[in-house]
Chains A and B, each alone.
Chain A
Amino acid sequence: MKRGNFLLGTISGLTVSATANHVFARALAQTPLAGLPGSQGRCLVLINLGGGNDGLNCVVPHGDQRYYNLRPTLAISQSEVLAIDAHMGLNPKMSAFKSMYDKGNVAIVQGVGYPNPDYSHFRSTEIWQTAAPDRYEHTGWLGRYFDEAGLPPDNLFNGVAISQTVPEVLASNKTDIPAIPNSAGYGLAFDRSPELSQAFKQDARDASLPFKSPYLAHVMEIEDHAQRGSEELPKLIGGYKTDASYPATPLGRSLALAAQIVGSNLGTRVIYVEHASFDTHQNQRPGQDRMLMQFSDAISAFYQDLAAHGNDNRVLTMTFSEFGRRVAENASRGTDHGQASPLFLIGGGVKGGLYGDVPDLGSLDNGNLRWTTDFRSVYATVLERWLGRPASPVLGGAFPAIPVLA
C-alpha cells in the first residue's frame, strides 16, 4: 500500500477517473446476453402500484349494474369509461394506455390474488414480493431468480431498483442489486483511490477491528458497489439519446431512466420501479384518476422510446399492487382494503387482451371480490416464458402458465 497517496481529490468539485477496466465492465463485454436460455437480451420491468390499486375503477365492469349500485358516488359512468367490450373498460384517464391495448400490446389479467388474503399493506406487499403467501421468506421471487439464473456475478447491474431503497422483491442471498433513484445524483462528489477502497474492504474482514456489528458486511459490500457502480453508470448509459417526451412525473422520470438502461445494454434483466400511492380510503376518484393518468402517460412514452430504439419487443412490463379494494365504497367516497385486482402485462412480446375471469360482483367474500387467478401463475409465466428459467425453484411449486406471451 502506498502511504500518503490516498486522495479524496479536491474536496469540492467533481473529478471522475476514467477506469474502463473495472471487472464488471469486462465481464459485461465478455458475456453475451443471448447465452441464457430464452433470454435474448430480455428485460422485465416491474412496476409496483403501491398502496392498493382499486381494480374496479381501473379496469371497470361497466356492464354490471351491481358495480353502480355498490358505488353510488365512486363508479365510473358508462359514458366516461374507455370500453374494451360490452362488459369491461378502462378508467377514462388511461387513454394513452387504451391505445396501446387496442394495438395488442397490453394483456390484462383479471381477478389476481392469493389464498387467505391479508389486508395489511405491509404483509400483502411482502407476499407479492416474496411470492410466499403462507410463510415468511427473506428473499424476493426475483431475488431467487437472480440467485439461480447464473448471471455474470461481476455485473453490478443484473438488476436495478429505480428507487431510494432496494425492494424486498429483489432481495437475494447472493446478488446485490443497486438502488438508483435517478442518474443525476448517482455519483461520488470526490475521487477515491484504489488503496482506500482496498483498505475499507480489508477492514470488513479484519478481526482486529475493535467492534462487531451484524451490519458491517452489508455496509462494506454496498459501499464497494456504490463506488464502482456510480463511477461506471454515467459512462455506460451516457450515450443513450431519446426524443420521447416523458411526463414530468416521478414515474415518467423513472421510466426514462429504465429505457436508458435497457438501451445501453448493461445486461440488466430486471428493473424495479415504484408508482405510489393508491391508498384511497377517501375521496378516491381524483386521487386514483391522477395516479392512473400518470401511469398511462408514462408507460406510453416509455414504449415509444423503446420502440424508437428497437427495444420494445425485449422489454416486458408487469404491474402489481398489494390488493384491490373493497367493492362497496365507504362514507368518505373512498374504499377500504380488499382482495383481488387486475394486473397488466405490457410490451411487444405480449398477446394483448383480457385474461382470467371477469370479476363476479354477485359472489363476494365479506364484501370483497374473490380472486380467480393465483398471482404465482403470472410469475411462473414470466419466469418460464420470458426470463427463460424454470419457475419451480423460485416459486417453490408448480403453477400453470397463462398464455399471455407470444
Chain B
Amino acid sequence: MAAQTRVDFGGILRPSGQLDSATALQPFRGALDERLAAHLLRRAGFGGTPDEIRRYASMSAGDAVESLVRFTSSSAAAQPTLFDRRPYMRELASLEGNEKKQLQNRLVHGDVLALEDLRLWWLNRMLTTQAPLQEKLTLFWHGHFTTYINFSSMMYGQNQLFRQYALGNVRALAHAVSKDPAMVLYLNNNSNVAKHPNENYARELMELFTLGVGHYTEDDVREAARAWTGLRFDRFTETVWFGEAQHDDGTKTFLGHTGNFTGDDVVDIIFDQPQCARFFANSLLSYFVYNDPEPELIDGVAALLRKHQFELAPVMSAIFRSNLFYGDRAYRALVKSPTEFVVGTYKALGLPQIETSAVAASKQMGQTLLQPPNVAGWPGGANWITSATMIARQNFAVRMVNSQTLAASSWLQQIPMQPAQAAHEILSAIVQQDAAPASRFQLEGVMAGSGTASLKSLSPENLQQRIGQAVALAMAMPAYQLN
C-alpha cells in the first residue's frame, strides 16, 4: 500500500486544519467527558483505570488539572535496591591486569542488574503513584536532558533530581543537571580542563537542551566549553566538585556577552535569550499537545514561561486547561511511547503491579528506560511505529491477557454477560470508544462467538479466552497506539 499521506520523518507531524490562535491558550469551558478525561490522564500521566477515568469525567477541567498539578509528592513507593560501586574503588585502584579486569567486570555486572531493577521500579512507580504528572515530567526530563551511563546509583540520583524538579523551575533544573554526576560523566564535562577543553557538554547544552541548532555559533561552543572547565568527578564519593586549578579564568565572549564566565554564567546567559523560552515551549507542546506546533503557539507558551520566570507548574496548568488541549487538533495527535503503552496497559486492565517481563517488552517496542539511544533522546512520533515495534506491541498485548491478568482485573471480573454490552465496555476501557464500525463489528463478533446469547453459558476457560481475545483486539486497534 502506497500511503498518500506519509508522515514526515523524525516524527514531526502537525494536525491539519487551521489553529484558532486567539483562543487556543484560553481556558476550556466545556465539561470533561470520559474521552477527554482519559485524554488528560494519558497526557498528564500514563492513562487511567476505568474508575479513574469516570472520576475525572465528573470534574471540571480546572479541578481535574488542579488535582494533577498540585500533587504532594508520594513517598510511599518502595525504594529501589541500588548497586554501590564506591566501596570497591580503593581496591580497584590497587589492582592490575587480570584481577583488575575481573573486578571491573563484577562491577559492570552489578550495575547492569541494578539498572534492570531500576527500570522495573520506575515503571511500577509510574503505575502506582498518586502524582502521575510528576512521573510524566520525570520521564520528559529524562528524554530532554538525556543521559546514559552504566552506573545505576548515579542514574537513580539523576532520576530523583528530575522528580524533584519535575514541575519546578526549569532554569534551576538546568543549573542542577549541569552538575549532576551522571550528566557530567556522560558528556565528559569532568574531563574539560583549561588546557584542553572538551566541548561535548557545551555543545549539547545549547544544541539539545536549551537553544537548538542555529541559535549559537561554533565560537560560542568553544567559549562555553572554556567557561565550563574545572568540573571534576570523584569516583570514591561519586560526587562532582570544582577544581579551580583546571578552570580557565580568562575572558570569554559568549552569545554577545564578554566576561570571565563560569558554567553557571553560561546557563544564565542562555536562559536570558528569548530563544531559550521558545525552545522549551516547543519541547513541551510537542511532548504534551502535538508535534511541530505552530510558531504563534510556541510564542504563546514561551511568553508564559518568561512571565513565570521558568516556573513550570503554572505553565503546565495553563496548557492542560486550554482549549487547544481539549480540541480535535490535540486529541490522539501523538504516538504512544512504549513506556506509555506498557504502563497504560496495566492501568487500563486495572492491575496492581508491573511484572519483570514488561521491561523486556518495552525494549522490544523501542524504549529502554535509563538508556536512551543517544544524547538527543528518543525521537518519538512516527519513529515509535515500525514493523518491528508494531509486532512487539501486539505480542505484548496478547501476552497480557492471560488467565491471571483477567482474574486480577476488577472490571473484567465483572464484565456484563451480554456479548454486545461486554464489547462496549471493553471498547470504553481500552480505546474510549475510538473505533470505527468495522472494528467494532469485529469485536462484537468475538464476544458473541457463534451466536452466544449470554456469556454465562460458556465454560470458565472459554469465557476467559473470549474476553482475552476481545481485549487484545481492542489493544491492536489504531487508537490504542495513539496518545
Chain A interface residues toward B at CB < 8 A: 1, 3-8, 11-12, 50-51, 118-123, 138-140, 153, 161, 164-166, 168, 171-176, 178-181, 185-190, 195-196, 198-204, 206, 208-226, 229-230, 277, 279, 281-282, 329-332, 334, 336-337, 366
Q: Can you identify 24 A-B contacts, CB atoms within 8 angstroms?
A: A3-B445, A6-B446, A11-B402, A161-B386, A164-B389, A165-B366, A172-B6, A176-B1, A176-B3, A187-B391, A198-B438, A203-B477, A203-B478, A206-B437, A206-B438, A212-B328, A213-B331, A214-B13, A215-B382, A215-B385, A219-B390, A219-B478, A223-B390, A332-B191
Complex Cα distance A330/B193, Å?
Answer: 9
Task: Tell me the count of chain B residues lying within 8 A, CB to CB, of chain A.
Answer: 89
Complex: chain B residue closest to A210, CB-CB: B434
CB pair A330–B198 under 8 Å, yes or no, is yes
Complex Cα distance A189/B401, Å?
Answer: 13
Contacts of A211 in B (CB 8 A): 328, 331-332, 434, 479
Complex Cα distance A302/B445, Å?
Answer: 49
CB pair A120–B386 under 8 Å, yes or no, is no
The listed residue (B6, B14, B203) touching A173 by CB distance below 8 A is B6
Tell yes or no: B468 within 8 A of A by CB.
yes
CB pair B387–A229 under 8 Å, yes or no, is yes
CB pair B385–A218 under 8 Å, yes or no, is yes
Contacts of A221 in B (CB 8 A): 1, 3
**Contacts A11-B401, A213-B333: A334 and B473 contacting too (C-beta < 8 A)?**
no
Write the B459-483 contact mask toward A (1 if CB under 8 angstroms, else 0): 0000001001100110011110110
CB pair B335–A189 under 8 Å, yes or no, is no
Tell yes or no: B79 within 8 A of A by CB.
no
The listed residue (A11, A153, A206, A225) touching B436 by CB distance below 8 A is A206
Complex: chain B residue closest to A190, CB-CB: B398
CB pair A222–B386 under 8 Å, yes or no, is yes
Complex: chain A residue closest to B291, CB-CB: A214
Tell yes or no: B357 within 8 A of A by CB.
no
Contacts of B2 in A (CB 8 A): 153, 174-175
User: In the complex, which residues 275-300 of chain B have their Cβ closer than 8 Å to any Cβ of chain A?
Assistant: 290-291
Complex Cα distance A195/B444, Å?
Answer: 13
**Contacts A211-B332, A334-B198, A336-B199: A203 and B439 contacting too (C-beta < 8 A)?**
yes
The listed residue (B6, B15, B481) touching A219 by CB distance below 8 A is B481
Tell yes or no: B428 within 8 A of A by CB.
no
The 6 closest A-B pairs by CB, nearest first: A331-B196, A332-B191, A179-B386, A226-B387, A206-B436, A199-B438
The listed residue (B15, B331, B385) touching A222 by CB distance below 8 A is B385
Contacts of B434 in A (CB 8 A): 209-211
CB pair B437–A223 under 8 Å, yes or no, is no
Complex: chain A residue closest to B15, CB-CB: A214
Task: Determine which residue in A181, A198, A222 has the highest number of CB atoms from chain B within 10 A of its CB, and name it.
Answer: A222
Tell yes or no: B388 within 8 A of A by CB.
yes
The listed residue (B335, B391, B445) touching A4 by CB distance below 8 A is B445
Contacts of B388 in A (CB 8 A): 164, 178-181, 185-186, 226
Complex Cα distance A205/B9, Å?
Answer: 22
Contacts of B221 in A (CB 8 A): 119
Contacts of A164 in B (CB 8 A): 366, 386, 388-389
CB pair B387–A4 under 8 Å, yes or no, is no
Tell yes or no: B60 within 8 A of A by CB.
no
Contacts of A201 in B (CB 8 A): 1
Complex: chain B residue closest to A182, CB-CB: B388
Complex Cα distance A5/B446, Å?
Answer: 7
Contacts of B390 in A (CB 8 A): 219, 222-223, 226
Complex Cα distance A222/B381, Å?
Answer: 13
User: In the complex, which residues 364-385 of chain B have their Cβ closer than 8 Å to any Cβ of chain A?
Assistant: 364, 366, 374-376, 379, 381-383, 385
Please tell me which stretch of B48-56, B113-121, B345-353, B447-455 contacts chain A, meaning at least 4 of its Cβ atoms lie within 8 angstroms of it.
B447-455
CB pair B398–A165 under 8 Å, yes or no, is no
Contacts of A217 in B (CB 8 A): 3-7
